[in-house]
Structure 1
Amino acid sequence: MLAVLAMSAASTTIAEAATAMRCSHQLPPAHHIAKVVDRWAAEVEKLSEGELDVQVFGADSLVKANDNILAVAKGDIECAFSLNFQWGKTLPLMNVTVGPYTMSSIEAWKKWPTSEAAAFLEEKLADKGVKNIAWMFQTNVSVFTSKGRALLKPEDFQNIKMRGLGPAFDRSLIAMGASTASMPGSEVYQALATGVIDAAITDVAAAYSRKYYEVQDHFTVVPVLAAYLHGYVTPSWYEGLSDKSKAALKQAGEAASGWAIEASQAASADAPKQLEEKGVKVHIATDAENEAFKAAMQPAFNEGFAEETGEDGKKLLELIEKIQ
């Protein structure tokens, strides 16, 4: 009996020792980066030897996408993952990779997690009340989705209403004649289905995993922007962790950066064919078409980004040049 009680007490102590880490994100389960987040969570638990109990809540099931940043900063939850452009006006520096045709090199992304540019952004994130713990490259291959006709040149965007990605990038869409609406990724499918918006721009793999092929019939593949998901935690919660748990987060974050690149490259390679198999028309933009998009979009984005970020933006672009 005493042995049973002792074992029970030991089990209780172990259970109490595990620190809960609730992590919210917006991606659907089938998304390639959602799977990387799950793999990261398992790695954190393994490396922390059970000190951290990582509970992942995807698809907006815990906190809505637009509320994740504030929820972590306030300590309502311990952890979240957001797409860079969800920082919007709060920290527009995060949108630097969204610049049309600015950072599409995979080699640059491999250098990103330990780069001066990433460290610079981590300092700015700390100033906004969160501690960054992981960088997960999501895509450098996007699609312009539409219904009835393909979007192949800037003139095709006249009078088209699209989901926007943030003020600076939206300028580049507006420069081509589109109007934009702000909404999280989880709401785009319904907006397309009901005609609230006419078209969208998204990661080519996300267009497949979110089933855009059910509500759009033309997909133009363009290397127009690079997007990433990043993980962050409440600083006060982080400071209360053991050195082992902190090291586990660091090591798992570095590993996940590599997994994300591998998963994203595979997803980007497979997605165009997967979309075609659903009966939609997929067009890979030609060099000439990309040059026309770049000429129309880049100046408008650069002007907006400069206005939003000032000297910090200029410095960040210089740091990014070092890893290109």
Structure 2
Amino acid sequence: MFKKSAAAVMVLASLLLCGTAFAKTEIKLSNQFPPSHHVSKGLVVFAEKVAEHSKGELSVKIFDSAQLFKDTEIVEALQDALIDAGLVPVNKWSGMIPTADVFEMPFVFKDLESPKKFLSAGADKILDEEFQKKGVKTLFWVDYGYIQFFNNKHPLKMPADFQGLTMRTFSSGDAETLRVLGAAPTVMSSSEMYMALQRGTVDGATTGMPAAVSRKVHEVQKYMTKANYTTAQFVVQGNLDWWNSLSEAHRDAVHKAGLDAEEWIRGAIAQSENEAEKVILEAGVEIYSPNAEEHAAFVKATEPVRTSFAEKTGDLGKTLIEMAIEASK
């Protein structure tokens, strides 16, 4: 009887050990964009590739549309280990890491390929070192595309046209750009933008065209200036302790999946921008593209923003600006 019981215990223990060995580890990922946004679709690619590269040992569960955390809450949630990973607007780090505002500098990145060149040149490692000091690890970068000017009053053809406008902005860095152009900026979460525009709490907003469509901004705005003045950057990050708790094989799987997702998202940006522009036009929004002279006026008017950034961030900020300019040549 004892022998049978002992054997049964050994079999049960063996089954439990096998079950543990083959159990999936779930990674919870917070995302503030709706599922229709191309960035959200890129996160699905990431989830699929994590499963593939980990041979099914890891799975990613995505919580879209700020179900768990808004863009204004995600940094603290990651630091406090309230979530494994999350999509973070890089500008949400600017209070703790001023150099993160490099992506907010107006008229620095000349095309959609420039951010990739900038990060590949070493900016990714420089910034990740700063993030890790705050308890967070970069998993992969998420290019967003260009940011445009929307408003409900009149076409914004020159800096003088911004005088007297109240405009929603997505970051303190972007707020500086609006301020030097003459507008009164209000930093506001993307999830609150539509209601503020609909009610007339603000006259306009800065956002990308795909996000404008996802958030239905084109339904409550009359004008858009296609200035391509900055390329906002996002990053998928994880709590550093959580990251260090993963095995080397699992970290490698997540890293490879991140690279796959980065490339997919970059490939989707141009198509997403073109499709969104078509929707915005069809909705009756008047789109204005500045000519060379007007573009030069915008660059000159926003020079104080770039100068202030270099002064506030010291040598590290100057290095990043130089790298960004080099990547745009």
TM-score by length of 1: 0.91
Cα deviation for residue 231 of structure 1 reads 0.6
Aligned counterpart for 2:236 among listed residues 231, 234, 245: 231
In structure 1, the residue matched to 2:217 is 212
Q: Is the 8 A contact 1:72 1:234 kept in 2?
A: yes
Q: Is 1:99 aligned with 2:105? A: yes
Q: Does 1:147 align with 2:122?
A: no
Secondary structure, in 3 states, of the residue corresponding to 1:163? strand
The equivalences for 1:153-302 within 5 A come to: 153-297=158-302, 299-302=303-306
> Could you say which residue in structure 1 is the equivalent of 2:33?
27
Is the Cα contact below 8 Å between 1:138 and 1:227 reproduced in 2?
yes
Q: Which segments of 5 or more consecutive residues in structure 1 lack a partner in the other structure?
A: none
The higher radius of gyration belongs to: 2
CA distance in 2 between partners of 1:11 and 1:273 (Å): 56
Equivalent pair of 2:23/2:57 in contact (CA under 8 Å)? yes
SS in 2 for 1:63: coil
Pick from 37, 44, 47 the counterpart of residue 43 of structure 2: 37
Look up the equivalent residue of 1:81 and give its one-letter code.
Answer: L
Given that 2:109 and 2:230 are in contact with CA atoms closer than 8 Å, whether structure 1 keeps it comes out as yes
| TM-superposition CA deviations, 1:99-119 (whole Å, max 9, x none) | 111013333333344331111
Cα displacement string for residues 165-211 of structure 1 (whole angstroms, at most 9, x for unaligned residues): 33333222111211111111111111111112111111122112211
Alignment of 1:135 with 2:136, yes or no, is: no
Report percent identity of matched pairs.
Answer: 30
Amino acid at match of 1:103: F
> Does 2:309 match 1:305?
yes
Does the 8 A contact of 2:29 with 2:60 survive in 1? yes
Alpha carbons 1:30, 1:209 under 8 Å: kept: yes
Which position in structure 2 is the counterpart of 1:56? 62
Aligned to 2:323: 319
- The whole-number CA distance in structure 2 between the counterparts of 1:150 and 1:22 is 43
Report how far residue 275 of structure 1 moved.
0.7
Instruction: Please tell me whether residue 119 in structure 1 is matched to residue 153 in structure 2.
Output: no
Count of aligned residue pairs for this structure pair: 318
**SS of 2:32 mapped into structure 1:** coil
Give yes or no for contact 2:153–2:203 (8 Å, CA) kept in 1: no
Q: How far off its partner does 1:144 sit?
A: 0.9
Distance 1:68 1:174 in 2: 26
**Letter in structure 1 aligned against 2:35:** P
> How far apart in 2 are the matches of 1:321 and 1:178?
27
Query: In structure 2, what is the Cα distance between the partners aligned to 1:65 and 1:257?
Result: 20
Distance 1:264 1:228 in 2: 12
When residues 271 and 11 of structure 1 are mapped into structure 2, their CA distance, relative to the original with a 3 A threshold, is farther
Contact between 2:226 and 2:287, CA under 8 Å: does it hold in 1? Answer: yes
- 276-285 vs 67-76, which moves further: 276-285
Moved more, 233-242 or 283-292: 283-292
Q: Helix, strand or coil: the match of 2:138?
A: strand
Is contact 1:192-1:215 (8 Å) kept?
yes
Alignment partners' CA distance in 2, 1:90 and 1:58:
26
Cα distance in 1, alignment partners of residues 211 and 290 from structure 2: 18
Residues 295 and 54 (structure 1), Cα distance of their counterparts in 2 relative to 1, 3 Å cut: same
Using the TM superposition, give the Cα deviation of residue 272 of structure 1 relative to its aligned residue in structure 2, in angstroms. Answer: 1.6
Report how far residue 288 of structure 1 moved. 2.2
User: Which letter does structure 1 place at the counterpart of 2:217?
Assistant: Y
Q: Report if aligned partners of 2:42, 2:264 keep a CA contact under 8 Å in 1.
A: yes
Given that 1:110 and 1:258 are in contact with CA atoms closer than 8 Å, whether structure 2 keeps it comes out as no
Give the match for residue 4 of structure 2: none
SS at match of 1:228: strand
Q: Is the 8 A contact 1:162 1:179 kept in 2?
A: yes
- Over aligned residues, Cα RMSD in angstroms? 2.2
State the Cα distance separating 1:96 from its structure 2 match.
0.7
Deviant stretches of 4+, over 4 Å = 9-12
Q: CA–CA distance in 2 between the matches of 1:21 and 1:277?
A: 40
Letter in 2 for 1:120: I
Q: CA deviation at 1:17?
A: 2.6
Alpha-carbon contact 2:147-2:207 (below 8 Å) kept: yes
Q: 1:308 to 1:180 in 2, by over 3 A?
A: same
